[in-house]
Structure 1
Amino acid sequence: MLIGTSAYDFLEDLPAVSNNLNSLAEALCGPTSWNLRQDNCGVVANPASAEAAMDSIRDATATARDTLLVYYAGHGLVDPEGELYLGLPQSRQQRVDTGLPYNWFRRALLEGQAERTVVVLDCCYSGLALGMMGSSDLAAQADVEGTYLLAAASETRQALAPPGETHTAFTGELLSILATGIAGGPEKLDLDSVFRQLRTALTAKGRPAPQGRGRNSNGRLALGWNPAFSRTPLASDTSGSQAEWRLWPDPVAIRTVQGFFFALGQVRVVSGLTHTAVSLRSGGEIAAGTVSSLLNRKDLPKTWKTTGIYLTACGVPDEQVDGWRRSWDRLRAEAPATTETADPAADRGRTHGSRESSVWARVVRRKGRPDA
């Protein structure tokens, strides 16, 4: 859900915000990012009132189940109590009733059912929102992976819309990262990597440094593929590349079927992808529901195909995919021996003789007791 206010009655207009919305929607719907359908990427420009903006946010929280990203660009304002509120067309300074209080925005997100929530605020004083991420808010309430908040400026700084530039300073840099990537960076543009690059690039230009905070492993959520990624490590980044390699679970260390599926689940955590994102990266070869079913299995699948597609879609290097295949082959080969030594559940507490007696008793009940 992308929301922006570019035209104001009582404040300075921000024409770059309109470009932000269009360009960011195009990026998120593109094949190198989330490849969203148009109906999964809502854009609300210049909402007429706080109620109109909140209706759009609540619609998004009611329908999103996987990942919900909510973006706002426009004037960020501070009320007399020092709380952040988001600018709308008729907003005035120090008049929270003319804008959208961030607390309303936050509470609406708390009601959502999305697995992950990402909030991006491109407005002045947006760092104030970080102070609202305590133990009882978004991060604690998100179902699985938590919440990630990315703010264009600190609680005391104004964000920039440089004259003559197509986009605001923060969103322009974000779009540049999505388009050109991070040299020497990971294969996927996860939120943590994007945040670090944003700080580096904007600070180097003398612009406000963005603020960010994530919970749990949400910082590994990928916004897209890294166009600048190279499998050949940079000479100056050998140790970092090796560390990145070691993040993947080692298939050689897997000894049991239970361990196989635990490690398979860890692959998705390391990748930073949701079930839906894995499906998209597979080119639709496996559905999001299939990913969930695979990770919740108790027995090894009879064929390798789905597991192989899943690992490749998550970004596991080809060499390690081969190692996973060998582990799968080994565990499949060991399965019959394991089955023979285990006691079948149906036979617990019975002897061979007792089973025969049970069968004879059923015959007697049907035909009547035989003469002695």
Structure 2
Amino acid sequence: MSVLPDPGASRAVIIGTSRYDYLEQLPAVSNNLSALAELLSGPLSLRMPASHVTVVENPPDPATVMNPLRQAAEATDTLIVYYAGHGLIDPHDALTLAMPHTQPDRIETSLNYDWLRQILLNSRAQRHIVLLDCCYSGLALGRMSASQGLADHAAVEGTFLLAASAETRTALAPIGDTHTAFTGALLETLRNGIPGGPPVLDLETVYHHLRLTLEARGHPVPQARNRNSGARVALVRNYADLLAAGPIPASADTESAHRLWPDPTSISTVTGFFTCLAGAREVSGLTQQEVSRRSDGRLSAATISKLVNRDTLPATWSTTAAYLSACGVPNDQIQKWHSTWQELRRDTATQETGTRRPDDDNAASGKARHRLSAFWRGRGH
């Protein structure tokens, strides 16, 4: 079953090099980075908090990349790593990622993928998504086509790795195009969806669509590797499918039951709760005004907007229940939503209680004893 990550428990690090001292310039990479970061944080994708998406552009040294990766590795749901730029193969057949000052004959001037890979292996995240949009020098390209592919070099357990295996630099980054060929096709797919595709675009579906699209355009086809069902991870809902389905009829219980509603049981954070809550309206195909009308006057469009854009859980359940019901979510699923809301409320209360450190309690106790002693001394005891 396809899984949309909980954005509150996920992190993304988007890395790219567009300017080089010794290699061909790749100006489109800069556009790749901003567009992908915007998509991951925007309504067309996971709605990840901006603080969970780190962009590292033209890093001057490997540490500039490794430090954000280590911080992002604290994600407990999904860790997304993207790199765009020149990819090289060192004399030991290891993949290296080129940086602005990289010299092809000096491996110490580039980022060894094995360093990045080790962070992924040690990450707390349940799932990893690695997107590599790399091109190669002529020697590396010959070596790659004669032996292992990029995805074989970069494989990590528990990961879906999607790699652009470009045959020439021109094919990877056509002159004058806004994006590189691979990332441009990826962004197009995530934004527009796949007509006739599943309701949620898992990475395996995206990969097969990209192969067909890029091959038809005369560009190199991507490679993919899947470890431990990583192919089932999704970054977006299929908006082509949502448009084709249309708004859910007001009394169509059968159609409501068959729509792929957001799964509240997969939510572990408050951010994820509100992301999935907004997703329920998207799946319904209804506007906020239509949801308001179907709530029999219980919810205004403004109330709905405030509800899905909150950053703290509502203290009462009634408004959320009315919203889900007006969207057409089946009653049995609304009960699951209620259970998730209760669990998150308990977790939030526990965290708030736990913010007081034992040292603080000891200090407070000591102050109280001091005041009490002073009180009795003042009374002559």
Above 0.5 in TM-score? yes
User: Hey, what does 1:330 align to over in structure 2?
Assistant: none
| Residue 88, structure 1, aligned to residue 99, structure 2 | yes
- Once the two structures are superposed, the pairs formed by residues 247-326 of structure 1 within 5 Å of their partners are 277=272, 279-283=274-278, 321=330
Q: Structure 1 274/169 Cα, relative in aligned 2: closer, same or farther at 3 Å?
A: farther
Aligned partner letter, 2:152: G
Q: Structure 1 102/133 Cα, relative in aligned 2: closer, same or farther at 3 Å?
A: closer
Partner SS for 1:224:
strand
Partner SS for 1:122:
strand
Query: Using the alignment, how far apart are the partners of 1:150 and 1:57 within structure 2?
Result: 18
- Once the two structures are superposed, the pairs formed by residues 81-230 of structure 1 within 5 Å of their partners are 81-124=92-135, 128-132=149-153, 138-139=156-157, 146-153=158-165, 160-230=172-242
Query: Using the alignment, how far apart are the partners of 1:64 and 1:324 within structure 2?
Result: 27
Structure 1 residue ranges without an equivalent (≥5) = 140-145, 234-244, 249-263, 291-302, 328-372
Aligned partner letter, 2:129: V
Q: Percent identity?
A: 42
User: Hey, what does 2:24 align to over in structure 1?
Assistant: 12
1:319-372 deviations in whole A, cap 9, x for unaligned? 9x4676899xxxxxxxxxxxxxxxxxxxxxxxxxxxxxxxxxxxxxxxxxxxxx
Contact 1:78-1:93 within 8 A present in 2 as well: no
Query: Using the alignment, how far apart are the partners of 1:308 and 1:221 within structure 2?
Result: 30
Contact 2:198-2:241 within 8 A present in 1 as well: yes
Q: Structure 1 220/38 Cα, relative in aligned 2: closer, same or farther at 3 Å?
A: same
TM-superposed CA distance for 1:228, in Å, is: 0.6
1:141-174 deviations in whole A, cap 9, x for unaligned? xxxxx211110117x7766000010000000001
Higher relative contact order (CA 8 A, sep 6+): 2
Structure 2 residue ranges without an equivalent (≥5) = 1-12, 137-143, 246-256, 279-306, 337-381
Contact 1:184-1:230 within 8 A present in 2 as well: no
Aligned partner letter, 2:185: E
Q: Structure 1 47/324 Cα, relative in aligned 2: closer, same or farther at 3 Å?
A: closer
TM-superposed CA distance for 1:287, in Å, is: 11
| Residue 26, structure 1, aligned to residue 47, structure 2 | no
TM-superposed CA distance for 1:182, in Å, is: 0.5
User: Hey, what does 1:38 align to over in structure 2?
Assistant: 50
Q: Normalised by the size of structure 2, how large is the TM-score?
A: 0.61
Query: Using the alignment, how far apart are the partners of 2:128 and 2:189 within structure 1?
Result: 21
TM-superposed CA distance for 1:36, in Å, is: 1.5
Q: Structure 1 288/100 Cα, relative in aligned 2: closer, same or farther at 3 Å?
A: same
Q: Which entry has the higher C-alpha Rg, 1 or 2?
A: 1
Q: May I ask how many residue pairs the two structures share in their alignment?
A: 270
What is the Cα-based RMSD across aligned positions, in Å? Answer: 3.8
